[in-house]
Structure 1
């Protein structure tokens, strides 16, 4: 039913017709002019206002041949009606945006490595394609992000892969880089500007705790052992900047993705590994929880 006495929904949105009719008459000063502006028949408009007045138990307009003017009761509520109509319109638009994945709240967890490229790319996409989304950002380690994702504390994780995943978690690889050596400034390099695995092993490794990146750490150990070297971890650090600080202090060497060089940390130098073909690649992936319908997190991941 589409008439004035119809249901509380019209055209897939909240039924704001009574408020719009009231405001149109108040602004136009007559039912005839208001009906023309609204594009409705004057009898239908008159019936709608009569019904509204009956529901409220007050007369909203004094009507005469000269037009329609607000009564004292009408003047008392007109500002509230304008505000209510604006809120109802905004609520309808927001509900549609959320249902379409274009609005809402998105909590993103990320490792330090994501700030070089992946996180800025994601934020640019959110700003241009999902402008109604409120974003919360939390820098977290790998293991903490996986726990937070499973518990619903974050919606999207940006972390190092591969890693074992629970059944409901989906993942997408977004970056894959070779590892390069991180050495204290002044450590001699070869004539080719590179360094060998033996030199890195001799300095000792500054790296992330095993629980944080178990597959990556195991790959580095295996590469060193295949080269006949004894892997020795001299210091553990759970953030990239901390790893760089430890190397700058002369505690040892490290192996980090090539993009980490953008940090330009004082006291360290980056160099390719001459015999590093057997080293694992440094991967960055995005993770989200699978749902019955595409979530905002999944839509964003698809675009990265």
Structure 2
């Protein structure tokens, strides 16, 4: 047998009357007149097929059917209230889930402060943090598998994605600590012409790779790449073993390896940019919340 649908308005009227056991007081709580309240109760009783209240002069009471319905009616109304509150929280950006992709080197600069600030302001938001290089981040944003990207050297223009620069920093030379140039306070790029290089593959971040090679070309040579490594931590570890030297963003200094020296380069005019990226048409309210947190608490540039 098909169960009748019980409109929430009728359930609300029923619960008010069950609590007050007085039509006048229940109507006042509902903000309606008594006749509409009586009509709601009669309609509900018609759907149930039984009287929900016994009516005697000057007194009403719940019938057995009414007593059976009351807990379920309260549960339905409370569930609706909870669902509406949860929907409001998600819609306003107070709760929900935000998926963030980040380049590994940004764990040394932008990421910790950003996550700390955002967590303090929105403790109920679930953060899904995924480490990935720039090219996979751009693909993941377009495929909607992440909501925010923190990457290096964003594209100049993109119809689908928005970008904002949050940090710029110069490059440094990365040398084995026993290398002769490590004794210098600064290294001229042309001094590295005869050295093998350890670099990130171009595929993981073409603009950054091109910046590094352009530094070398401007100094009169093309870098001879002896080894590729996907992460800067690995680049530094390979430099420590003596496989080569590298040029890296200045924040890579924060990777502490005893056998690696970081030195300022000359000329020191090229800057690498760190950007936050997002989909321009994203309806997730948490995206602007995070962008606002970045804007109000810019990353440490020291």
Q: TM-score range, shorter-chain basis?
A: 0.7 to 0.9
Q: Which residue of 1 aligns with 2:13?
A: 21
Contact 1:26 1:68 in 2 (8 A): no
Counterpart contact for 1:31–1:67, Cα < 8 Å: no
Q: CA RMSD in A?
A: 3.1
Question: How far 1:208 moved relative to its partner?
Answer: 0.9
Q: CA deviation at 1:68?
A: 3.9
Distance 1:298 1:201 in 2: 45
**Structure 1 length as normaliser, TM-score?**
0.78
Classify the secondary structure of the residue corresponding to 1:211.
helix
Q: Does 1:238 align with 2:230?
A: yes
Mapped to 1, the partners of 2:25 and 2:182 lie a distance apart of 88
Aligned to 2:83: 91
What's 1:284 paired with?
A: 274
* Pair 297,75 (structure 1): closer, same or farther in 2 beyond 3 Å: same
What is residue 110 of structure 1 aligned with on the other side?
A: 102
Distance of aligned partners of 1:57 and 1:261 in 2 relative to their CA distance in 1, 3 Å threshold:
farther
Matched, 1:141 2:104: no
Alignment of 1:204 onto 2:209: no
Hey, what's the Cα distance between the residues in 2 that align with 1:53 and 1:178? 76
Aligned equivalents of 1:158, 1:24: Cα separation in 2: 53
- In structure 2, what is the Cα distance between the partners aligned to 1:67 and 1:103? 47
Counterparts of 2:71 and 2:194 in 1: how far apart (Å)?
78
- What residue in structure 1 maps to residue 300 of structure 2? none
1:69-95 Cα distance to aligned partner (Å, 9 max, x none):
333223333333222222212222333
Query: Which deviates further from its counterpart, 290-299 or 141-150?
Result: 290-299
Structure 1 residues 61 and 173, CA, compared in 2 at 3 Å: closer, same or farther? same
TM-score by structure 2 length? 0.79
Secondary structure at the counterpart of residue 269 of structure 1: strand
1:224 is paired with a residue of what secondary structure? helix
Larger mean Cα displacement after TM superposition, 255-264 or 290-299: 290-299
**Residue among 169, 173, 177 paired with 1:181:** 173
In 1, the alpha carbon distance for the partners of 2:48 and 2:157 equals: 58
Whether the aligned pair in 2 keeps the contact of 1:53 and 1:59 (CA below 8 Å) is yes
Shift of 1:39: 4.5
Change (3 A) 1:263 1:34: farther
Aligned residue-pair number: 288
- Output one character per residue of 1:51-109: Cα deviation in whole Å (capped at 9) or x when no partner: 22223333223344564433322333333322222221222233344444555433222
Residue segments in structure 1 that go unaligned for 5+ positions in a row: 1-14
Q: Report the CA distance shift for 1:131/1:70 in structure 2 as closer, same or farther (over 3 A).
A: farther
1:294, CA displacement in angstroms?
8.1
Q: Which runs of 5+ in 2 are unaligned?
A: 1-6, 295-302
- Are 1:16 and 1:88, in contact at CA under 8 Å, matched by a contact in 2? no
